[in-house]
Structure 1
């Protein structure tokens, strides 16, 4: 066996190990963890703000006014983080009838087309959201005084990450890896 013929554990020992796939998987995991951190921070912050507001309302008859506005910033980030997590784990809602029927090269071609479509859609959303991001720089939340661009910038994070994940999926597909061939027991989140 030659030095470049190391068998790939990801394909059950079939084919060579692609050295560039390690950084691709590492970047995918990094995006997954960034989404997890964002989701955790948003959920924790929103829950804490609501809890403090409820306690203050019952204890003193008046809550904190900004507790109602903080969700305008954090909820879009919560959704964006969840979208990135689902994309990184290939756990988005999908119809897999065609993918389940196809195998071999045909399945790889379908995977390539799906990832290319996701890339085009993500870049299109990034491009078309620019006027919204520019306009939100002039909108301010009344109580917090925070510009709305902080909430809307979650669009750039979510769809920028999805575009990167689609590129990573394209690279994995071009290397011959079947990115839709997942063990159902490992794919379940329940």
Structure 2
């Protein structure tokens, strides 16, 4: 067996691992982990702030004022982290009836078109959100004094993440991989 002929774990032991595809899939995996980290930190911090606030309110009759505002910053980041995780796993809301009925080549063309559309929409949202981001530099939360840009910048993270993941899927599809995994563990139950 030659050095490059090792079986690919992403292909269930079939074929060789392609270095470029391994690197590209690694980008998607890295984005998924960043989404997990963002979501976990936001959720943990919001839960702790809310818990401490409730305990203080019941124990001393008054809580911490900023506990009500922190959610305005962290909730958008929690949602953005979830969006990136769902996009990386291919578990965002989708209707798979048409791809399931197509041949592999037709399905690949359809999924290429869908991913190109995702890239175009993501970049369009980013471009159109610049006025909002610029305006949010001048808006501050009343108690914390933190600028709103920190919450709105989650838009940039979410849509850049989606665009990069769609580009990864485009590269994988052009390389001949079937990016539409119709296995029962990935099927939507909705």
**Superposition TM-score, scaled by structure 1 size:** 0.92
Query: What does residue range 1-190 of structure 1 map to in structure 2 within 5 Å?
Result: 10-11=10-11, 17-185=17-185
C-alpha distance after superposition, 1:54-103 (max 9, x if no partner): 01111111111000000000000000000000000000010001100012
Q: Give the distance between the partners of 1:170 and 1:71, measured in 2 at CA.
A: 35
More moved, 6-15 vs 81-90: 6-15
Determine the C-alpha separation between the residues in 1 that align with 2:47 and 2:5. 52
Alignment size in residue pairs? 189
3-state SS of the aligned residue for 2:115?
helix
Distance 1:32 1:61, change over 3 A: same
- Give the superposition deviation at 1:10: 4.0
Q: What CA RMSD, in Å, does the superposition of the two structures yield over aligned residues?
A: 2.1
**Cα 1:9–1:55 shift into 2, 3 Å:** closer
Contact 2:49 2:67 in 1 (8 A): yes
Greater mean deviation of Cα atoms: 2-11 or 23-32: 2-11
Give the distance between the partners of 2:43 and 2:8, measured in 1 at CA: 39
Deviation string, structure 1 residues 90-119 (Cα, Å, up to 9, x no partner): 000100011000122101101101110111
Q: Is the 8 A contact 1:18 1:175 kept in 2?
A: no
Q: Contact 1:87/1:162 (CA < 8 Å) preserved in 2? A: yes
CA contact (8 A) 1:53 1:64 kept: yes
* 5+ long unaligned stretches in structure 2: none
Residues in 2 aligned to 1:70 and 1:13: alpha-carbon distance in whole angstroms = 47
Cα contact 1:140–1:148 (8 A) shared by 2? yes
Provide TM-score, normalisation by structure 2.
0.92
2:63 aligned counterpart, secondary structure: coil
